[in-house]
């Protein structure tokens, strides 16, 4: 409920439906729309979740930094994760969490997500030795920072429209606005998941 997965499933993109069956169980979701929905909600969960816990549990931090500097596969994985974390926004994500009907569950799960995001960001910075995200890639940092102020209003608009649609409003413009916001956010983030 925190993501626009239900709304994405209504899009006419791809060759397959968002779910393997008519079920809304997580086990039946297809990966691409699921990842795309987390990107829309500015969480980017599949790109970083669990990595911070793994880095924290890795005892030899010097070896971790050595691997980040000298092992191309590990460096590329960290660079990809860094880009994803840089495009995420836990403040915006918290607003998407308000879409979840069960507030107790939403708060508990979102706390885990937010804590995991902070662990992953901190672990990434520890492994790379950077003072902040994208310090080693100023061009990408500037590109993302220039786009983020324009994406936030799109996210806020999308949240409001999804709330209205899920509350039962039938106005066609709401559905059209949701679809346009999905397209605009994906374009502004320069990725679909």
| Residue 20 pLDDT greater than 90, yes or no | no
**Listed residue (33, 74, 30, 69) closest to 51, CA to CA:** 74
**pLDDT value at residue 15:** 47
Structure tokens at 67: 């691997």
Residue spans per domain, the chain: 5-189
Q: What is the pTM of this model?
A: 0.88
For 43, residues 6+ apart whose C-beta sits below 8 A from its C-beta are 2, 3, 88, 90, 93, 96, 113, 117
**Lowest mean per-residue pLDDT among 32-46, 66-80, 154-168:** 32-46
**Lowest mean per-residue pLDDT among 2-16, 42-56, 107-121, 168-182:** 2-16
| Residue 7 pLDDT greater than 80, yes or no | yes
Average pLDDT over residues 154-162: 98
Average pLDDT over residues 154-176: 97
**pLDDT value at residue 33:** 83
d(Cα 92, Cα 156) in Å, to the nearest integer? Answer: 8
d(Cα 105, Cα 100) in Å, to the nearest integer? Answer: 8
For 151, residues 6+ apart whose C-beta sits below 8 A from its C-beta are 42, 185, 188, 189
| Residue 9 pLDDT greater than 90, yes or no | no
Q: What are the two backbone dihedrals, phi and then psi, of residue 19, each rounded to the nearest 5 degrees?
A: -130, 150
More confident residue, 21 or 75: 75
Question: Using one digit for the tens of pLDDT, what is the confidence trace for 102-136?
Answer: 999 999 999 999 999 999 999 999 999 999 999 99
Query: Residues 1, 116, 89, 179: is their CA dihedral positive or negative?
Result: negative
Structure tokens at 64: 């971790």
Residue spans of alpha helices (H) in the chain: 5-8, 31-40, 51-57, 61-70, 72-87, 90-97, 103-128, 138-166, 172-189
């Amino acid at each position: 409920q925190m993501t626009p997965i239900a709304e994405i499933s209504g899009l006419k993109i791809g060759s397959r439906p968002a779910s393997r069956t008519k079920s809304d169980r997580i086990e039946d979701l297809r990966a691409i729309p699921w990842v795309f929905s987390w990107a829309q909600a500015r969480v980017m969960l599949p790109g970083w979740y669990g990595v911070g816990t793994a880095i924290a549990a890795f005892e030899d931090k010097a070896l971790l930094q050595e691997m980040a500097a000298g092992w191309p596969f590990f460096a590329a994985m960290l660079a990809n994760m860094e880009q994803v974390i840089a495009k995420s926004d836990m403040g915006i994500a918290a607003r998407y969490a308000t879409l979840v009907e069960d507030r107790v569950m939403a708060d508990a799960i979102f706390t885990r997500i937010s804590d995991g995001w902070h662990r992953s960001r901190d672990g990434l910075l520890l492994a790379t030795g950077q003072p902040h995200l994208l310090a080693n890639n100023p061009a990408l940092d500037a590109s993302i920072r220039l786009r983020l102020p324009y994406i936030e209003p799109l996210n806020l608009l999308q949240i409001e429209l999804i709330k209205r649609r899920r509350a039962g409003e039938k106005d066609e413009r709401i559905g059209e606005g949701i679809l346009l916001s999905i397209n605009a956010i994906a374009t502004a983030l320069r990725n679909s998941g």
